Structure 1
Amino acid sequence: MADTGEILVVIPARGGSKRLPRKNVLPLGGKPLICWTIEAALEAKLNARIMVTSDDEEILAIARQYESQGVIAYKRPGELATDTASSADVLIDAVQAEQGAGHDPKTLVLLQPTSPLRNADDIRAALSIYREGGCEDTVVTVCEVDHPTAWVGTISEGGLLEGIAPSGKRSQDYRKEYRLNGAVYVASISTLFKANAVLTPQIRASLMPKSRSTDIDDVNDFKYSEYSLKHYSD
């Protein structure tokens, strides 16, 4: 099994959000949304440095509550807190801040705070797959799709459903398909700098259950997460 070297966990959390304002600090299950991701990273016990990168003082103040456990609250430059700032630029900035502090991380674990149901086991599983693959290919968490993509199309201006070729097959007759769920990304930092991207040409999958694969984008996603925390545990 390959050695990942020093690991840097990055949790990027902007203060602004259009569809669900202030979502990263909204209370979910009795604590701010971002706390679920910080605590999952700590519970994974990766022997890693954990950084919350944000432009927002309230988010940074929450992150500082975990400083005694090694969490770093890093205020990113303002130009990296806009809608047009790329994820790669935010991550490169975070790594450069670590390098400026005298550290030399080799492996990046990206955890989006909008995936609060992802747990420590999910993080460890993705890192294990990354190691088993020789630390060359990016690993992403995925879940099974609800319906075959053969049933997905677009609607024209005239109201016609296009892009679907009805076959008459039942959903269970199609080959299983999977989608990115946004919960965990594991990548080489050298790839991040060389390609200015997290994803490699060949990507490995780490499977997560649909029940933990919510990516909060709007109020409906948030309500589903609240419901899941109350009624599910797997």
Structure 2
Amino acid sequence: MADTGDILIVIPARGGSKRLPRKNVLPLAGKPLICWTIEAALEARLNARIMVSSDDEEVLTIAQRYQSEGVIAYKRPDELASDTASTADVLIDAVKVEQAAGHDPKTIVLLQPTSPLRNAEDIRAALDVYRKGGCEDTVVTVCEVDHPTAWVGTIGEGSRLEGIDLSGKRSQDYPKEYRLNGAVYVVQSHLVLNSGSLFTECLNASVMPRLRSQDIDELADLRFCESLI
């Protein structure tokens, strides 16, 4: 099995959010949303460096609670706090900061704080898929879709429903399909530095259960996750 080299876990957490303001610090089952991801990263026990990259003082203060466990609370530059800054830009900045501090991460594990139900097992499973693939292709976590995409269409003029498969096949008659769930990404650091992208031409998938694939985008998502917890 291939060696991942030094691992850097990056948890990007901006202070701003349009649809659900301050979502990264909102309480979920008694603790701030971002804590669920920090604790999952720690519980994965990957012997990795863990960095919370944020522009927000409240987020950084929360991250500092875990400083004794090795979590780095890093205040990113202002230009990386805007809506136009990409995730790849944030990762490039994180790697360069690590390199300036004398570290040389070979593998980046990206954990979005908006996936609070993703756990340590899911993180380790994604890294296993990455190793088995020779540490070449980016690994993304996915989950099975609720319904076949053949049942998804668009609404045109005059409320006309278009693009739907009306063959009458049952859902189990279609092949299984999967979607990105945004919970875990594993990528070579040099790929991000050289191409400015998270993704290789081919991607490998690590499958997660649908219930752990919840993404917090609005208040209803937060409440649903709370009910699951």
Cα distance in 2 for residues equivalent to 1:154 and 1:52 = 39
* Amino acid paired to 1:220: A
Partner in structure 2 of residue 232 of structure 1: none
Distance 1:157 1:224 in 2: 34
Aligned pairs for 1:1-234 within 5 A: 1-229=1-229
Query: Hey, what's the Cα distance between the residues in 2 that align with 1:165 and 1:48?
Result: 47
Give the whole-Å Cα distance in 2 for the aligned partners of 1:75 and 1:162: 47
Q: Which residue identity does 1:228 align to in structure 2? A: L
Deviates more, 1:94-103 or 1:36-45: 94-103
What root-mean-square deviation, in Å, do the aligned CA atoms of Structure 1 and Structure 2 show? 0.7
**TM-score of the aligned structures, taking structure 1 as reference length:** 0.96
Q: Distance in 1 between matches of 2:136 and 2:157?
A: 45
Structure 2 CA distance for aligned equivalents of residues 176 and 195 of structure 1 = 32
| CA apart distance, 1:83 | 0.8
- For residues 68-101 of structure 1, give each alpha carbon's deviation from its aligned partner in whole angstroms, at most 9, with x where no partner exists: 0000000001111111111110110111111111
Q: What letter matches 2:189 in structure 1?
A: I
Q: Secondary structure at the match of 2:140?
A: strand
TM-score, scaled relative to structure 2: 0.98
Point out where structure 1 has 5 or more consecutive residues left out of the alignment: 230-234
CA distance in 1, matches of 2:167, 2:107: 44
Deviates more, 1:50-59 or 1:220-229: 220-229
Output the CA distance in 1 between the equivalents of 2:163 and 2:108. Answer: 38
Deviation at 1:157, TM superposition (A): 3.7
For residues 225 and 98 of structure 2, what CA distance do their matches in structure 1 show? Answer: 33
Deviations along 1:46-79, one digit per CA (max 9) or x if unpaired, are 0000000000000000000100000000000111
Amino acid at match of 2:63: A
Size of the aligned set, in residue pairs, is 229
- Ranges in structure 2 where 5+ consecutive residues have no aligned partner: none
Distance between the aligned counterparts of 1:192 and 1:180, measured in 2? 19
Task: Point out the more displaced range, 46-55 or 90-99.
Answer: 90-99
Query: Which AA in structure 2 matches 1:159?
Result: S
Instruction: Between 163-172 and 184-193, report the one with greater CA deviation.
Output: 163-172
Indicate the percent of aligned positions where both proteins have the same amino acid. 74
